[in-house]
């Protein structure tokens, strides 16, 4: 199938999986657990920039008691993630097709327990640091959604983005732990679920960097 033909079919393929996404996700603000059929005390985990959804699908399947909401702005990419969840019949995984810039429209203060940021676009530190999903303006938004004690779990292949992100987490008052520059050869690899990009970088021999930032 050519890329053009695939793109033409996006609306009908999205429609087939409509139970996984919402016409107006902002309407769910403050009531995601209820709307998604989960108990009121279920943990709510976000993945920002989920790509084709290998990570959120596997993690949601491994943790059926948690609610997962994955965010991705590229419609043709999120479609692949949504179709995986639809085919796997996962009852606890839902999607938002939007830019992370708008995340505060979707979630209430204290509604979120954990955020995953996996291999976000590195951009150039000189010219485009503000586009990095770990830039302080984004972190300020995440702080508004996260519960006290909530976490951001961050992974990247990129040394410069990693150093920058640790600085930004500290600047915004997060407490850092589980810091490693070689995740796959560390004690933290035991429960690690590899993303699509992570597997690609690992195959190229690039060490994966990881840190956990906790909101105190």
Ligand X SMILES: C[S@@+](CC[C@H](N)C(=O)[O-])C[C@H]1O[C@@H](n2cnc3c(N)ncnc32)[C@H](O)[C@@H]1O
| Packing angle, helices 75-88 and 54-62, rounded to 10 | 30
- Of residues 45 through 64, those in contact with ligand X by CB under 6 A are 49-51
Q: What is the 3-state composition of the chain as percent helix, strand, coil, each rounded to the nearest 5?
A: 45, 20, 35
Counting contacts by CB under 6 A, is residue 182 touching ligand X? no
- Of 39, 33, 98, 99, the closest CA to residue 68 belongs to 33
Note if 121 is an active site residue: yes
Could you say whether residue 158 binds ligand X (CB under 6 A)?
no
Catalytic residue among 62, 65, 105, 121: 121
Q: Is 119 in the site for ligand X (CB under 6 A)?
A: yes
CB of 84 to ligand X, least distance (A): 13
Closest approach, Cβ 79 to ligand X, in A, equals 12
Nearer to ligand X, 38 or 145 (CB): 145
Using CA atoms, how far apart are residues 70 and 96, in angstroms rounded to an integer? 6
How many Å apart are CA 54 and CA 193, to the nearest integer?
A: 9
**Cα angle 132-112-18, degrees, rounded to a multiple of 5:** 85
Backbone angles phi, psi at 52, to 5 degrees: -85, 5
| Closest distance to ligand X from the beta carbon of 201 (Å) | 9
- How many of the chain's residues bind ligand X (CB under 6 A)? 19
74 binding ligand X? (CB under 6 A): yes
- Residues near ligand X (CB under 6 A) are 49-51, 71-74, 77, 99-101, 118-121, 195-198
């Amino acid at each position: 199938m050519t890329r053009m033909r695939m793109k033409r079919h996006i609306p009908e393929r999205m429609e087939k999986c409509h139970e996984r996404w919402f016409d107006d996700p902002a309407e769910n603000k403050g009531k995601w657990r209820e709307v998604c059929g989960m108990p009121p005390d279920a943990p709510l985990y976000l993945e920002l920039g989920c790509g084709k959804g290998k990570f959120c699908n596997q993690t949601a399947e491994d943790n059926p008691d948690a609610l997962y909401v994955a965010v991705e702005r590229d419609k043709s990419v999120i479609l692949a993630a949504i179709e995986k969840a639809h085919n796997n019949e996962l009852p606890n995984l839902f999607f938002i097709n939007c830019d992370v810039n708008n995340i505060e429209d979707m979630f209430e203060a204290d509604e979120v327990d954990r955020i995953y940021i996996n291999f976000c676009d590195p951009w150039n530190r000189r010219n485009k640091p503000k586009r990095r999903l770990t830039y302080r303006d984004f972190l300020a938004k995440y702080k508004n959604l996260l519960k006290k004690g909530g976490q951001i779990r961050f992974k990247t292949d990129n040394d410069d983005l990693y150093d920058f992100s640790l600085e930004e987490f500290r600047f915004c008052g997060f407490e850092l732990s589980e810091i490693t520059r070689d995740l796959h050869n560390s004690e933290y690899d035991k429960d690690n679920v590899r993303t699509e990009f992570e597997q690609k970088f690992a195959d190229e021999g690039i060490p994966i960097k990881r840190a956990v930032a906790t909101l105190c």
